[in-house]
Structure 1
Amino acid sequence: MGHINVDQGLIMHWAFNEGTGASALESVSQVQDDIQSIYNQAEFTELSGPQWRQGVTGSGLLFDGYSTSIAHSVNEENTKGEQEFLSALSIGVWLAPRSYDLGHQGKLTAIVNRHNMERKQGYLLGMFRHGSWSFQVGLEGGNWKELWSPEGYELPKNEWSYVNAVFDGNQGEIKLYLNGSEIASSAVPRGSRLLEAVDMDLLIGKNNQSSLLVEVFSLQMFSGIIDELKFYKRALSAEEVAASYQHVLNSAYGGVHPQVQYDQIKLDRTPLLTDRHRPQYHVSPPAHWMNEPHAPIYFDGQYHLFYQHNPLGPFFYHIHWGHWVSKDLVHWRDLPVALAPEKDQLAPDGIWSGSATYDADGLPVLFFTAGNDSASPNQSVALARSTYSQDEDSDLVQWVKHPEPLIVQKKGMGVFGDFRDPFVWKDEDGWYALVGSGVEGGGGAALAFASEDMLNWTYKGPFFEADILKFPYLGPIWELPVFLPLGADKDGQHKHLLLVSPVGKGADVEVFYWIGELDRHNLLFIPDQAEPELIDVGDFHFTGPSGMVDPKTGRKIIFTIAQGDRTSELEYQSGWAHNGGLPLSVYLREDGRLGIEPIQELQSLRGTKLLSFRDKSLAEANLSLRDVQGDMLEIQVELEPCSATQLGIKVRCSPDGEEETLLYYDFNENMLLADRTKTTLHPGEKGRGVQGGKLELLGENLKLHIYLDRSMVEVYANSLKSLTTRVYPSRKDAVGLEFWGDGEPLVKSVEIWNIQSIW
């Protein structure tokens, strides 16, 4: 090949070899460009700057998918804003994408661009759905030209690709190269010239014309690592492109294509560990967005829990299945995304909620809602199997989707177009599934299906529908049905628990439940009473239920989202949205009511015991409480009302009482309540007002089991109800506690522990 001087005609070059700091050098002009990133101006965490990672040569810059970008001002001699033309342009860059975009509004996720599509000016090199990619240019005469990667040449996730795009106006051609080889070309008229978008900055990692979601989040932003970005004002030859590729391989990798270590590209929770509002012993994604956790299953000594996840940022958008694993339901490890939308006819547009069960060989299988916007309805029930039997991957990292949907909604099968969140269980006769939907013209419903082989399913009709006229808050559609056996009551009747989450017009989006009996023959649920109950009386904080029977202990365990209750602006600034609630053990009490308690394994997180006493008046108890502070605490307290009508405890109190949250019980109204009127002085936070609901104590003392975890507050009262809420105090000294009540109540007992982080 001889010696090729590839850097002839080089006009811009970012080597990204800084490895630290919040700027990147463009070495031709010697301009230091600022790197935009939320970690440069985080309000609630320590400033850590953008994330640098191992590149193909030296370091590379990790783009987080929603806030990381670089704007470079192209200082051309032309200062009059007159039109500029290029007869040739070549771009070369090493990329390791972490996630693909949904393709909102047909726009490309920009790798690098300086373009205006309407005016047909400039150029855009970017990615699209499922890893396809394109180079697009505006030509003199108002012609916008697009050249796309052919089938089979998509850019793989979590792997390095060397990408080159060449516009050669004199020869009249545009070319794409992948890893040193030409993969696509297109003719343009000889003598064509590229029309520059002179009034725009060159953007790296962000589209010049990105879509805005909820007026806060710019879409079409690159997620992954970028390294060695070069621009030339000439057309590179095929030999030069191949030589550039080979040079990197030979310089550091012994002639072999470089690999990306997963730990270098994965979402990293480290920068968020210092966020003073982010829970530390509740399960959460490493960063970005989650909604409900789901599909809990125990296998080979470990518990697996999955969750609805947008890997591109802290907003609801392109849903994948995130994945955690745990030996004790308390300490969780982050695993790679388990299921992602792919270029197939099954679920190209989203992998929505579902559940897990075992196949005939006892191996775990995942049932999920397959999102396919080209189908009607756009949601069906699909299945994925682990590769455990081939590779004994005990973390169950790899999952293979069954190519066809298993259950496709037909007309007359619930409300057409609303058909999601399969909950599947197995017994000696086969497999059963509940799917969330509704009844046409009626209310929400769980639809029942049965199968003898797990692949072929028969519709059995509605499993249960409630009276929408009597209970309009149960809404027209139910999501996330969960069905668990509770065992026999005192009369020997076998009881079951049905949980649902209503949505749609008029729905109260909370977790409602009924206790009742299963008619196995007809696959119907018969509730003991028509009116549903709430497990949690906080307002829209305890949602998104899933559940399992723990094979190790026989317990029935449910999982939920703890909603963040923040504005999109604050979620943008924070880099995370939502977390899981504590796992709850639910059981049938002697009195026929549903018992709920946080799982016992949480006691393993107890650190120092800060306080323990019995039988004190309110005033004496508060003297003892004066020196106890914290935002990661477990508090167990029993309060005897005596003459009190209202009684409870203030948490997250500033010393002057300017900020505080009151958790209390009203004995006249039989209500468990949280008063957040003074929770925060921060003008951007939403959490205000009083939340709560009915709790019949039937003469018992008030027994509160409280978990504080930064912004999380969970109150469990007398093993009967929970109240989950959120607090975001503005003051760092809002860490005090104080008993509160009227009359002459007695503090029967108190125990308080520090709780340790699980991360």
Structure 2
Amino acid sequence: MKKCIFLGFLSMVILVSCSSKKTSTPPSPIDPNPKPPTTINAKEIVSFKFNESNGETTNESKTGSNLTINVPSGAAERIVGVEGNAIVVNGFYGWASGKINVTYPTSNVAITGWVAPSAFPVQRKDADPITENTVASIFSNVNPSTGAGVALGVDQYGRIIGQCMVGSTLSQIVSDVQIPLKKWSFITMNVTGTNGKAELYLNGDLVQTKTFTGGSLVWDNSASVFIGKESKVKTVAGFDTNGLTGAIDKVSVWDNILTTNEIKSQFSTVTVPTPNLSIPIAERYKNDKHRPKYHLAPSAGWTNESHGLFYLQGKYHLFSQRNFNGPYLEHINWGHYVSTDLVNWEEKQQVLWPQPGFDEVGIWSGHVVVTGDNPYLFYTGVNKAKAAIGLAKSNSPFDTWNKNTSPVITSAPTTGYTHADFRDPFVFEYNSNWYMMVGTGLRNGTARGGLFLYKSALPDFTKWDLQGTMLEGSPSVDQTGEFWEMPIYYNFGSKSILLINKLPNANSLYWTGNFNGSKFIVDSQVPTSLELINQLLSPSIGKDANGNLTAIGIIPDNVTSAKHKSQGWANVFSLPRAWTLVNSKIKQVPHPNLLNLRSGQSTSFSNLSYDDSSTNILNGASGSQYEIVATTNPGTATKVGFVLHKNTATTEQTLIYYDVANKSFVVDRSKSSVLSDVPKTNQSTAYELPAGDIKWRIFVDASVVEVFINEELAFATRVFPSGVVNGIDLYARGGTANASEVKIYNISTGGVTSVAKTTSEKEELIHPIVFPNPSNSFFNFHFENIKSLSSIYAYVFDLNGFPVKKIETTVDNSNPTFYWDGFLDNGFKANQGVYIVKGFINNSLFEAKIILN
């Protein structure tokens, strides 16, 4: 995924691009104790207050000029600023530009303004020389061809950067300090042209001085003024890359330099608020019919490659690749998400971003391990020449991380190996020693993927010794491609797994076997595909609160860059999945916490028979956010499954089914959308199911579909229907199929409705009889009216909502009771207190409260 660049035509899409982004009208706060104005000897010749409450223009008060805000109609955003309102810029759109009729000074000039970045701007990894800084301006009137004019802004590392043309010389001044993210900073540049001197100030303090050959300041009065973007045109895949992401307020140009006292006075007379830089998700995306509601997705911009999932001090932490400046792959940061239940997530401030040195053009993927209460973060740092492995540490609540100033592995091995690239560390413990594997593509002989193996030489993880390669591919035999990235190792006990994401044609593959301290010894040279349909990529694993292995991956959009530009975000995370290893196969099931997504409303059907000619089997069921739990039997049919996102008016539909005749799973997207910039290719994978019933759990969340089969198999796909009509039905071809039961559960109020014969109703919980209750060790759960063999799939939850014991069993009419002995999955006796037992009997939900004393 790191190498993907999506191409597309953008002109028409830009008009639609943020059609859901409506003007935000923040209140204009009134200071009850206004401070007296500061007396300044210099004359203010340009002044932007940004106090408009709405609209797509902003006024320059000294000349009355209006600058146009670069957004579609109704999409300009403002927040409360340091005084009145502030303009919001979103990286690839939202800046203001236009002409101002003013006479600029030729001897001295000062620029002042307030900026609150939520991310630092992009430096293009391949297109920009490392010596060329981005100047994401708060003010720029530079002629890009001649350099005439002056600019002040923030560069790709968060440093204050100024630019001016004096005589025939173009000069830049860059601070050594980095301004903070998500806080207001007052920045100032003084330029004394005749004396050849420039100064930068941060919050009233002088932070940088530069001298140069004196002369007259050179301007181009015909040049456009930019607020929130560099004057140059720089793009990637049709996205402007040199815009600011954040907010700007009170920008002024002065006809002379300001004294230190005047600058300090301007800063000190403002009561600085905390800027609200959160993305207004509900308002911005309210008309986005493809954005999921209960899958974790980026608030805006680009995300890919989840990593570093860990649980510590009552919270789950997850990280991913992020570009906050737009939905395209460039200038990668580490995004950060926090949850208490793996279901509801909060997006936090990024924890790592490029800085001068070994990670100056990108913070790529890696891993987090926890020893005791101390998390250690390992990542790939990229500069123009090579990749290295970096280390960062954090303290509770783990919102900010401190990098080691130098990498712990400076470069890939050079002696004895010829290879392509070096990235994505994964750290694990074996026999009380810590090991790290790093993905690569070996090039001595046949091009193949491989994993370099290192062993930690110091307990603080700052020194690693190369051990060789842990495993190498053989593409002609194992079809593992030419490069391996995002590796995973996990020891289930008697067996371990080693998972890689192979390139090209990205796919998550795994072997079972055993690690012996230097090599991974595979059980079979040919790996197994993690997914039935190859759509989920780069899963990140971690133990949940009860020690169960949990995985979350990325489900890419696979749309054009024009589509990404129109929606403003890119790619989503999978739902959390519980992994176990059974008969050398990874079993994937929805994490039990996902039961909490159900709203309590459901639609039920039973004993359905249907064939090629059957229509509207589920009586008009439809929805955009729901879960299907069903048991079907192919009967005499050769194809059996579901119709999703059905729209009779547009003939759109997506088919997900099992092909009995050809022994394969199929996602038929050939009619999934009438849109032109979304994937519509069919997907299929050969897999032989045992004869008989097929158990389905399908999660639909707008464009995201995740499917789980027989409490073992899983796959994900993406579909982008054009409208809001999203019918649901059963599907069979070649004969008659049967469904003993189908339940459709509402999720996130998006919901499902069903008309005609069956109506949506409150889900009736089954409450088994529990005895004894309370008990000090042993509970019986007795069901009434059991007529046949029935499967039980349940969890015991503590009062914090965490699953502590998994229960899988059966009951029947002769023995309608199952029990829990009071022990947890980790082998320990449960503490006294109240517990909830919740799960399915067949496809019906049951619940019981118990007290352990």
Counterpart pick for 1:149 among 171, 174, 191:
174
2:524 matches 1:529: yes
Check if 1:372 corresponds to 2:399.
Answer: no
1:595 positional shift: 1.7
Residue among 488, 513, 518 paired with 2:514: 518
What letter corresponds to residue 439 of structure 2 in structure 1? G
Superposed displacement of residue 340, structure 1: 2.2
- Mapped to 2, the partners of 1:418 and 1:186 lie a distance apart of 39
SS at match of 1:470: helix
Q: Distance in 1 between matches of 2:39 and 2:533?
A: 67
TM-score, scaled relative to structure 2: 0.77
Distance in 1 (alpha carbons) for counterparts of 2:303 and 2:463:
32
1:136 aligns with 2:163: yes
Instruction: Report the Cα distance in structure 1 between the residues aligned to 2:92 and 2:706, rounded to whole angstroms.
Output: 31
Query: How far apart are 1:13 and its partner, in Å?
Result: 1.3
CA contact (8 A) 2:95 2:228 kept: yes
Quick check: 1:496 aligned with 2:523? no
Alpha-carbon distance between aligned partners in 1 of 2:713 and 2:652, rounded to the nearest angstrom = 26
519, 524, 537: which one pairs with 1:543?
537
Pick the aligned partner of 1:617 from 587, 606, 609: 609
From 183, 192, 205, the equivalent of 1:159 is 183
Q: 1:337 to 1:173 in 2, by over 3 A?
A: closer
C-alpha contact (below 8 Å) 1:66/1:217 kept by paired residues = yes
After TM superposition, list the pairs within 5 Å mapping 1:291-690 onto structure 2.
291-343=304-356, 345-359=357-371, 361-373=372-384, 378-387=386-395, 393=396, 395-408=397-410, 409-412=412-415, 415-416=418-419, 418-427=421-430, 429-440=432-443, 441-442=445-446, 443-451=448-456, 453=459, 454-471=461-478, 473-487=479-493, 494-503=494-503, 507-515=504-512, 517-520=513-516, 522-539=517-534, 541-550=535-544, 552-589=545-582, 591-618=583-610, 623=616, 625-656=618-649, 658-683=651-676, 685-690=677-682
Change (3 A) 1:135 1:466: closer
1:334: Cα distance to partner? 1.7
Q: How many angstroms apart in 2 are the aligned matches of 1:371 and 1:399? A: 18
- In 2, Cα distance between equivalents of 1:519 and 1:73: 66
**What is the alpha-carbon distance in structure 2 between the residues aligned to residue 294 and residue 3 of structure 1?**
51
What displacement does 1:172 show?
5.6
Deviations 1:591-611 (A, max 9, x none): 543321121111110114432
Q: Which amino acid aligns with 2:216?
A: S
Q: Report the 3-state secondary structure (helix = DSSP H, G, I; strand = E; otherwise coil) of the residue aligned with 1:126.
A: strand
**Which residue is 2:152 aligned to?**
125
Residues 655, 734 of structure 1: 8 Å contact kept: no
How many Å separate the matches in 2 of 1:640 and 1:64? 51
Show CA shifts across 1:106-143 (max 9, x none).
14223321222432322222322322333222345xx1
- Measured after TM superposition, the shift of residue 588 of structure 1 is 2.4
Distance in structure 2 (CA, Å) of the matches to 1:651 and 1:115: 53
Closer/same/farther in 2, CA of residues 185 and 422 from structure 1, 3 Å limit: closer
Displacement of 1:227 after TM fit?
A: 0.6
C-alpha change, 1:574 and 1:366, in structure 2 (3 Å) is same
Is 1:702 aligned to 2:715, yes or no?
A: no
Sort the Cα spacing of 1:735 and 1:61 in 2 relative to 1 into closer, same or farther, 3 A: farther
Would you say the 8 A contact 1:98–1:224 is kept in 2? yes
- The 3 A distance-change label for structure 1 pair 722 and 54 is same
Task: State the 1:89 CA deviation.
Answer: 3.7
Shift of 1:222: 1.2
Q: Which amino acid aligns with 2:491?
A: P
- Structure 2 residues without counterparts, runs of 5 or longer: 1-35, 751-853
- Distance in structure 2 (CA, Å) of the matches to 1:535 and 1:692: 14
Q: Is the 8 A contact 1:474 1:508 kept in 2?
A: no
- Whether the 8 Å CA contact 1:56–1:248 is kept in 2: the answer is no
Paired position in structure 1 for 2:224: 201
Q: Distance in 1 between matches of 2:743 and 2:451?
A: 42
- CA 577–93 in structure 1, closer or farther in 2 if over 3 Å, else same: same
- Tell me whether 14-23 or 672-681 shows the greater mean CA deviation: 14-23
Is this contact kept in 1: 2:605–2:618, CA < 8 A? Answer: no
> 1:310-342: CA deviations, max 9, x gaps?
122211111111111112111112222122223
Distance 1:621 1:363, change over 3 A: farther
Q: Show the counterpart of 2:44.
A: 10
Q: Measured at CA, do residues 633 and 511 of structure 1 come closer, stay the same or move farther in structure 2, by a change above 3 Å?
A: same
Q: Measure the CA separation in 2 of the matches of 1:31 and 1:111.
A: 17
CA distance in 1, matches of 2:115, 2:531: 46
Question: What residue number does 1:63 align with?
Answer: 89
Shift of 1:70: 0.5
- Counterpart residue identity of residue 383, structure 1: L
1:260 aligns with 2:286: no
Distance 1:614 1:695 in 2: 27
Q: State whether structure 2 residue 126 is matched by structure 1 residue 115.
A: no
* 2:122–2:325 CA contact under 8 A, matched in 1: no
Asked if structure 2 preserves the Cα contact closer than 8 Å seen for 1:283 and 1:332, the reply is yes
1:427 deviates by 4.7
After superposing the two structures, state which structure 1 stretch, 328-337 or 421-430, moved more: 421-430
In 1, are the aligned partners of 2:453 and 2:468 still within 8 Å (CA)? yes
Shift of 1:555: 2.2
Distance apart, 1:22 and its partner CA: 3.0
Cα displacement (A) at 1:282: 0.9
Over 6 Å off, 4+ runs? none
Q: Which residue of 2 aligns with 1:742?
A: 734
Contact 2:657 2:731 in 1 (8 A): no
| CA distance in structure 2 between the partners assigned to 1:228 and 1:222 by the alignment | 16
Secondary structure of the corresponding residue to residue 508 of structure 1: coil
Q: Quote how far apart the aligned CAs of 1:197 are.
A: 5.1
1:467 to partner: Cα distance: 1.5
- Secondary structure at the counterpart of residue 337 of structure 1: strand
Tell me, in whole angstroms, the C-alpha distance in 2 between the residues paired with 1:294 and 1:712: 20
Distance 2:213 2:380 in 1: 48
Preserved CA contact (<8 Å) 1:379 1:417: no
**Range with greater deviation from structure 2 (719-728 or 180-189):** 180-189
Q: Does structure 1 conserve the Cα–Cα contact (< 8 Å) formed by 2:678 and 2:720?
A: no
Q: Is the 2:551–2:578 Cα contact (8 Å) retained in structure 1? A: yes
Q: Deviation at 1:5?
A: 5.0
* Distance in 2 between residues matched to 1:235 and 1:592, nearest whole Å: 75
Q: Aligned to 2:564, what secondary structure does the other structure show? A: helix
Contact map agreement 1:484 1:549 (CA 8 A) in 2 = no
Question: How many angstroms apart in 2 are the aligned matches of 1:310 and 1:658?
Answer: 37
Give the CA deviation at 1:461. Answer: 2.0
Distance 2:714 2:37 in 1: 73
Q: Which letter does structure 2 place at the counterpart of 1:465?
A: E
CA contact (8 A) 1:17 1:59 kept: yes
| Distance across 1 between alignment mates of 2:120 and 2:204 | 23
Give the 5 Å matches for 1:24-103. 24-37=58-71, 40=72, 49-75=75-101, 86-103=106-123
Mark the runs of 5 or more structure 1 residues left unpaired by the alignment: 42-46, 78-83, 388-392, 488-493
Q: Is the 8 A contact 2:164 2:171 kept in 1?
A: yes
2:242 to 209, 220, 223: 220
Cα drift, residue 31 of structure 1: 3.5
Larger displacement relative to structure 2 (87-96 or 669-678): 87-96
Note the C-alpha offset of 1:10: 3.0
Q: Give the Cα separation in 2 of the matches to 1:148 and 1:737.
A: 64
Q: Distance in 2 between matches of 1:192 and 1:6?
A: 23
- TM-score by length of structure 1 reads 0.86
Q: Does the 8 Å CA contact 2:229/2:244 hold for their aligned counterparts?
A: yes
- What SS is found at the alignment partner of 1:728? coil
